[in-house]
Amino acid sequence: MKCLLFALFISIGSFAQTSIKFDQNKHNFGKIKKGVHKSVIFSYTNLGKKPAVIEFANAECGCTQPEFNQNPVLKGAKGSIKVTYTAPNEGLFKKRVTVKYAGEKDVTELIIEGEVIK
């Protein structure tokens, strides 16, 4: 009985995992000048059985803008999200973009960071 419960637990856990795999989910811009726009492209692969469609990508502030295509990414294919930071204030920064795919329970968090200088 314990083996059956363990197998059930493992199979339920595997369904809860996201089928989207990002090459990287964090990018450090290093030092950038105030007011300069910097962008990074986060690439991902659809490891699921169904096409992946981005439901939303929300940045935690207006200085960070995610751009993405809402066309389906087929099984095994690659997609991307471009994240642009406007560097409005001097100092260290760490910004998050939350990405949700249609039909997925989990969200993915992308992080950009760096230091804005004069």
Q: What is the DSSP string of 61-79?
A: STTEEEEE--SPBPTT-EE
The tens-digit pLDDT sequence of the chain (118 residues) is 444 433 433 333 334 346 899 999 999 999 999 999 999 999 999 999 999 999 999 999 999 999 999 899 999 999 999 999 999 999 999 999 999 999 888 899 999 999 999 9
Structural domains present in the chain:
19-117 (2.60.40.10)
Q: What pTM does this model have?
A: 0.81
A 10 A CB-CB count for 44 gives 24
Residue 12's region, left for phi above 0, alpha for psi from -120 to 50, else beta, is: alpha
Helix, strand, coil abundance in the chain, percent, nearest 5 = 15, 55, 35
